């Protein structure tokens, strides 16, 4: 069943989410809570969980992109808003290339932004924190592959204990549920790549710089303000606001990434 639902080259967010859920055992990669929507939709998964893990907590998960499509160089268009996005994306990649990350723009070009190395399955709240640069993953000093210390900003750290988050996490391809659903053909890291350590390192660097510089509070303000704009006007009247928001996201944090 799992093999038939795996999309070899995901072209959109939904296909990326489907692949990530398979890789991550239909669980949040941090809390290990089961994805509620998958349980509602998949009879075999529901039966396996009821038999093996009936008391495991549930949550709504989302597919979190380390580099969001907003920064992707595959953006195209001619409207004022689309042109602003193109300009900001180009600025981001130019800055990353300056600090030695010359290959990333091609690795994530166009639909490649949805590759498994760029996505995580996260609880909906943790996804929100990650987008706000309030959650990041730092490589653990023990050198164990895919082992990260979980870092939370001071603002959300005060409530993080309510989520009972672990201090660290080791990302793996979850084969436990695979064995229940598709024991004849187990998928491995070769089939389902884990989050790319370089992408996570860049994201962590951005988060650290944002909080050291005091920029994180401004990012949070911009995020809330953008949420209040239900739709960006097609005539371009919202372009100035979008440009200001995007320019801060791209130029302010990334400019010192290489020195962190």
Of the candidates 19, 64, 21, the residue with the CA atom closest to the CA atom of residue 40 = 21
pLDDT for position 246: 43
pLDDT for position 29: 98
Per-residue pLDDT of the chain (260 residues; tens, 9 = 90+): 555 477 888 889 999 999 999 999 999 999 999 999 999 999 999 999 999 999 999 999 999 999 887 555 454 555 555 555 555 555 666 666 666 777 787 788 888 889 999 999 999 999 999 988 899 999 999 999 999 999 998 888 878 878 789 999 999 999 998 888 888 878 889 899 999 999 999 889 888 877 765 555 545 544 454 444 444 444 444 444 444 444 444 443 333 333 33
Question: What are the residue boundaries of the structural domains of the chain, listed by start?
Answer: 2-259
Token duo for residue 187: 């998928």
Pairwise CA distance, residues 241 & 187, whole Å: 45
Cα separations in angstroms, 108 against 10, 11, 31, 68, 236: 12, 12, 27, 10, 27
Residue 25, sorted as left (phi over 0), alpha (psi -120 to 50) or beta, turns out to be: left
Pairwise CA distance, residues 88 & 1, whole Å: 41
Task: Provide the sign of the torsion angle of the four alpha carbons 82, 100, 171, 47, taken in this order.
Answer: positive
Q: Coil, strand or helix: which one is 167? A: coil
Triad 163, 165, 166: Cα angle to 5° = 160
| Helix/strand/coil percentages in the chain, nearest 5 | 55, 10, 35
pLDDT for position 155: 81
DSSP secondary structure string for all residues of 3-43? HHH--SS--SHHHHHHHHHHHTTTB-TTT-PEEHHHHHH-H
Token duo for residue 204: 């962590």
pLDDT for position 213: 55
Q: Coil, strand or helix: which one is 150? A: strand
pLDDT for position 234: 46
Per the listing, tokens 């969001």 go with 68
pLDDT for position 91: 60
């Amino acid at each position: 069943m799992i093999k038939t639902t795996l999309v070899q080259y995901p072209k959109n967010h939904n296909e990326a989410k489907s692949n990530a859920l398979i890789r991550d055992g239909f669980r949040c990669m941090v809390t290990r809570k089961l994805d509620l929507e998958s349980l509602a939709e998949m009879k075999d998964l529901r039966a396996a969980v009821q038999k093996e893990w009936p008391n495991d907590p549930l949550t709504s998960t989302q597919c979190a992109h380390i580099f969001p499509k907003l920064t992707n160089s595959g953006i195209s268009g001619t409207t004022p808003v689309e042109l602003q996005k193109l300009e900001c994306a180009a600025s981001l990649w130019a800055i990353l290339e300056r600090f030695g990350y010359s290959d990333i723009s091609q690795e994530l070009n166009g639909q490649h932004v949805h590759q498994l190395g760029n996505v995580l399955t996260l609880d909906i709240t943790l996804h929100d924190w990650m987008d706000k640069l309030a959650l990041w993953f730092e490589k653990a000093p023990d050198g164990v592959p895919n082992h990260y210390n979980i870092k939370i900003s001071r603002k959300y750290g005060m409530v993080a204990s309510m989520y009972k988050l672990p201090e660290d996490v080791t990302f793996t391809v979850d084969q436990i549920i695979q064995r229940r659903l598709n024991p004849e053909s187990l998928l491995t890291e070769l089939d389902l790549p884990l989050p790319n350590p370089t992408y996570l390192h860049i994201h962590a660097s951005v988060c650290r710089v944002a909080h050291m510089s005091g920029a994180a509070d401004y990012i949070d303000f911009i995020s809330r303000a953008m949420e209040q704009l239900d739709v960006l006007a097609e005539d371009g009247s919202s372009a100035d606001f979008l440009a200001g928001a995007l320019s801060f996201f791209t130029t302010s944090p990334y400019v010192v990434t290489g020195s962190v």
